Amino acid sequence: MKTVLATTAAILAFTVPTRAASVSELDTNGDGMVTNDELKIVNPEITDETFAAMDTNGGGSLDDEELSAADQ
């Protein structure tokens, strides 16, 4: 489990935008969440696996809390 967490942290460190972005900055359809496609607009390197790791509640999109956690 620690290996998975360390690997995920390393992946996120290199794939999330270098500046913390908020949902309002990334949400192109105005639903208050950030989808994988919306995130790929600012960072095309994001993989489906990385997005799934960021989506901690498994809802299929990211909220401000999940974006903030990924940037830490």
Query: What CATH architecture does domain 2-71 belong to?
Result: Orthogonal Bundle (1.10)
Q: Is residue 7 predicted with pLDDT exceeding 90?
A: no
Section 3-16 average pLDDT = 53
- Asked whether the whole model's pTM tops 0.85, one would answer no
Q: Give Cα 32 to chain centroid, integer Å.
A: 14
User: Residue 32 contacts by C-beta under 8 Å, 6 or more apart in sequence?
Assistant: 23, 63
pLDDT one-digit tens code per residue, 13-55: 545 553 557 898 899 999 999 999 999 998 899 999 999 999 9
Closest CA to 9 of 50, 45, 38: 50
DSSP 24-47: HHH-SSSSSSB-HHHHHHH-TT--
Closest CA to 39 of 59, 47, 56, 7: 47
Domain residue limits, the chain: 2-71
Residues written for the chain: 72
